[in-house]
Structure 1
Amino acid sequence: MATRRFPPALSLPRHFLCGSTAFSSMRDTKAIARTANIAQHMSAAPSRAASSAATSPVTAHMDASVQYLSEGSTRVIQLNRERAINALNQDMINRIRASLEEIKKSPNAATVLLRGVGRGLCAGGDIMDIVLNADKKSKEERQEAVRFFQTEIEADYAIATLADASAELGRPKWYISYMDGISFGGGIGLSIHAPFRVSTERTLASMPETAIGYFPDVGVTSHFARMDGQTGMYLALTGERLNGADTYLLGLATHFVRSNLLEELARRLADMPLDQVTDANVVNACIDEFASDPYASDAENGEELARNSRFLGDRRIALDYAFGRASVEQIFAALGEIAAAKPDADAVKTLATRGLSPIPDMVKQFAAETLETLKTRSPRSLKVTFKAMRMAREMTLEEVMHQCMHIATVLTDLSVGRDFYVGVMHMLQKDPATGKRRTGHAAWNPATLEEVDDALLDALFFKNADSAHKAGLQLSIPKLANVPLSTNARDERKKRTAQLRGLGPLHWEPQHNQFALPSEAECAALAGGFHPAAGSYVQSNSEMILTLMQHKHDKPSLRLKVEDWQRRMDLMRK
């Protein structure tokens, strides 16, 4: 089991970098000295490898679908299919893998920047070719459709392990993704496993796979399963789109930076001296300089963004209840009860104990709209996604990647279900009768949740390859070349158990997503005295916020997020 270990986030003042003066009395002298050194190094003259701020193309052909550029100590992977919003095809995946291999070995690279030209980072995979291959008669051609997912998963795992793999060759490389504009599907896969992910006011993020009869793949369930409350389950099942503020709030992005500052941030990253960027905290501090609070009252639409967020306040209470049910059928039922708001309904009674009595109109509207969205999704995809999400919380990233490869193969094998093909055609092809895009939802088969054969679904998707083939799978499940399999070695089992157990009542994993806003699992660990920053002491609400603001460098939006969590917890305790 590969373990990606970044250095502990520094509990250091940000005023050296951002002008903040909060909590100066709480700083220790070693932290101050180290931060001053970081600031000095970041402003110092760059090393020879980073001496030129100009872009020098390594593979920068104007018509290349992926451009590989060198900017000082930064290597830029630029997706360059503007008319397709940089949708990924096999050639692009191959080029990304080749770029990562070159970067991993380079002695002159310190950071890797992923970005896209035009309207977004990446609109996902170029799925039309995939499903057309999947529908061919030749088994060899159908197997080729699966190869795209194999190489995509391998590329995403290479991103997840880049820092460790490059460190073994002499210098860790820190990967930063600019999730500016549209970031769907495969674009999320190219970003979510990176230590640094930047959203902007232009960001539109989504994993919309259940709408096309597929599922959230490329290891995304590993991250979604560790998100706050049931927000990950909500996103996985509905495929709803997130703005840049909520992408940051939920931890899908580690920083929020205004889009007009991205170029300056890129230049600052490129100018960072090679010998100082072995520490991820230096990169984090650099990005922090440009970060801002999207919800701030003085930010554009800041208060409106907070007011309309599904992930704060009363709607979040209802979301956690509904998407925490034990099956997809129960999720549907809970949403229906919340929308109807009949006093004797189980959901209404439970929400009353959580502070929602009576249920506000905006919560009823949220539940009704969410239920209507789910009714348009593939029933089979919903059930597969639900179970994969439940399992992912008890799995390592490597185990999730192998599971993704298995599920992707079954969904691509149209001999055991055609929802993937039908869903893509419904979404991308025009209605021949009208010449316009189709409305409504695809003709799913099975058409309802009740018609899905749960035993067959388990045999095909969630047992071993032999079970899947006995249940009708014809395609072979590819082996992932660079993703290790779990073993029964005692030391590895102990490490795995400790990692998944985490700290505190919500099993906070300190090494997971450490440069993002604090997760609610981290807040719960701190509140219960399980957090290293708490010194084993249970902390009050006000003490928690002070500790986290120091621990997270006064990170933008931190107070808003933590106070909202505290409010919801206080309501449940009443």
Structure 2
Amino acid sequence: MSDVQFHVTGHAAHITLDRPKALNALTHDMVLRIDEALTGWEHDPAVGAVVLTGTGERGLCAGGDIRAIHDDARDGDGTASAAFWRDEYRLNARIARYPKPYVAVMDGIVMGGGVGVSAHGSVRIVTERSRIAMPETGIGFVPDVGGTYLLALAPGELGTLLALTGAPVGAADALLCGLADHFVPSAALPALADDLAGLPVRDALARHVQEPPPGQLAAGRTWIDACFSAGTVEEIARRLLAQDVPAADETGVALLAKSPTALKVTLASLRRARRLGALERVLDQEYRVSRACLRGPDLVEGIRAQVIDKDRTPNWSPKALADVTEADVERFFAPLGEQELGLAPAADTTEEVVW
């Protein structure tokens, strides 16, 4: 049985991620098959919209297959991971520019690569079960799949908070941060799917969209913006721990448990993404950073500690923020020459989707 299923009901084409035991984590084959399906549907006049969902009760997608990336980085030469990211990031860019409504149902857990195949869509739906995160710094990696592009656009410093800490957000906070567009109760999703088969997307949504339960981030904007606007990770941590706010102190402690290298590269990636502009340029940058992560020790160690052995005690190298130099960070952004992802030229000629 395939790990991704496709079917068309009425004028809605459906992509169903189907690896429930792995929380629908993406493989390279899944990425290629989704891209192939999008090509066919783009030119099919009978298809009016594409709908992305996942099987199982836990969520849409937990991300990429990081066990495979771990093994490739530890035992291989990194070419398999680089090839996966090349096709995955191209798919992310394609979803963002898709000429038909791309409806992503972000129910349950949506992390990492799951954000990449959903949050770039033109219609992004969250439920009361949604938990959306870019948790890469906890495994010695850096937000990718266009994550630094999305988080750079979030109000104030909310994106910096989410990028550095990997904290998950619910429906209201996902809407606040620009990671989603509409709240639909999970119980209404089957009826929404039925309506999408026969109605224009706007009309189908109008039947089911509601106000989400209250979130948490809006109430903390004062200390979040004050702390995460600092120019270095060290200063962010210092400000957090100096706040007379329990949530800020907890955030500071959580931050310092992440990979020091990943934290510094993530902050640099996010700040650079704000200047780069187009998604394609940011994906090009993320590809350089991801390739560089394969050459460092923290990615293998982080996946080992969090996913494989699950001892939750990664041995980061270097261990302290102060030991990660500016030169260390800059190496992650070094050009790749002929191996560049090369999406940026398309950014100047492609228009945003209007539906």
TM-score by shorter chain over 0.5 = yes
Aligned to 1:260: 187
Listed as ranges, the matches of 1:42-61 within 5 Å are none
Alignment equivalent of 1:321, drawn from 219, 226, 233: 226
Distance 1:332 1:89 in 2: 35
Aligned to 2:104: 177
Does 1:375 find its partner at 2:235?
Answer: no
Shift of 1:486: 7.0
Taking structure 2 as the reference length, the TM-score comes to: 0.94
Alignment equivalent of 1:143, drawn from 75, 79, 99: 79
Aligned to 1:456: 328
Distance 1:69 1:478 in 2: 35
Distance 1:485 1:408 in 2: 20
Measured against aligned partners, the alpha-carbon deviations of 1:105-149 in whole angstroms (never above 9, x if no partner) come to 211101000000112100111111112112225x4xx21221111
The aligned amino acid for 2:93 is Y
Structure 2 SS opposite 1:145: helix
Distance 2:17 2:346 in 1: 33
Distance 2:189 2:275 in 1: 37
When residues 330 and 256 of structure 1 are mapped into structure 2, their CA distance, relative to the original with a 3 A threshold, is same
Q: Cα RMSD (Å) of the superposition?
A: 2.1
Structure 2 SS opposite 1:394: helix
Measured against aligned partners, the alpha-carbon deviations of 1:188-231 in whole angstroms (never above 9, x if no partner) come to 01011111100001111111000000011011111111111100
The aligned amino acid for 1:412 is L
Measured against aligned partners, the alpha-carbon deviations of 1:360-409 in whole angstroms (never above 9, x if no partner) come to xxxx1111110111111001101111011111112111110111111111
Q: Whose radius of gyration is greater, 1 or 2?
A: 1
Alignment equivalent of 2:341, drawn from 464, 467, 479: 479
Distance 2:237 2:202 in 1: 41
Listed as ranges, the matches of 1:3-402 within 5 Å are 63-118=1-56, 119-136=58-75, 139=77, 142-163=78-99, 173-272=100-199, 283-295=201-213, 305-306=214-215, 309=216, 311-313=217-219, 315-338=220-243, 341=244, 364-395=245-276, 396-402=278-284
Shift of 1:285: 4.4
> Any conservation in 1 of the 2:153–2:178 contact (CA below 8 Å)?
no
Does 1:418 find its partner at 2:300?
Answer: no
Aligned to 1:447: 319
Distance 1:398 1:201 in 2: 31
Distance 1:288 1:234 in 2: 32
Shift of 1:484: 4.0
Q: How many residues align?
A: 353
Alignment equivalent of 1:407, drawn from 277, 289, 294: 289
> Any conservation in 2 of the 1:399–1:486 contact (CA below 8 Å)?
no
Distance 1:107 1:429 in 2: 46
Aligned to 1:54: none
Distance 2:10 2:332 in 1: 46
Identity %: 34
> Any conservation in 2 of the 1:406–1:477 contact (CA below 8 Å)?
no
Distance 2:206 2:107 in 1: 17
Measured against aligned partners, the alpha-carbon deviations of 1:156-193 in whole angstroms (never above 9, x if no partner) come to 11111111xxxxxxxxx110000001111111010111
The aligned amino acid for 2:341 is K
> Any conservation in 2 of the 1:257–1:290 contact (CA below 8 Å)?
yes
Distance 1:136 1:68 in 2: 34
Distance 2:161 2:123 in 1: 23
Distance 1:201 1:464 in 2: 42
> Any conservation in 1 of the 2:242–2:249 contact (CA below 8 Å)?
no
Structure 1 SS opposite 2:345: coil
Distance 1:294 1:479 in 2: 38
Shift of 1:464: 2.4
Measured against aligned partners, the alpha-carbon deviations of 1:444-492 in whole angstroms (never above 9, x if no partner) come to 001111000211321x1224236xxxxxxxxx84535xx34279xxxx5
Shift of 1:329: 1.1
Distance 2:204 2:191 in 1: 11
Listed as ranges, the matches of 1:557-572 within 5 Å are none
Aligned to 1:560: none
Distance 2:234 2:327 in 1: 16
> Any conservation in 1 of the 2:288–2:334 contact (CA below 8 Å)?
no
Distance 1:486 1:269 in 2: 31
Measured against aligned partners, the alpha-carbon deviations of 1:510-555 in whole angstroms (never above 9, x if no partner) come to x79x99xxxxxxxxxxxxxxxxxxxxxxxxxxxxxxxxxxxxxxxx
Distance 2:339 2:230 in 1: 31
Distance 2:28 2:150 in 1: 25
> Any conservation in 2 of the 1:73–1:108 contact (CA below 8 Å)?
yes
Distance 1:479 1:410 in 2: 13
- List structure 1 segments (4+ residues) > 4 angstroms apart after TM superposition: none
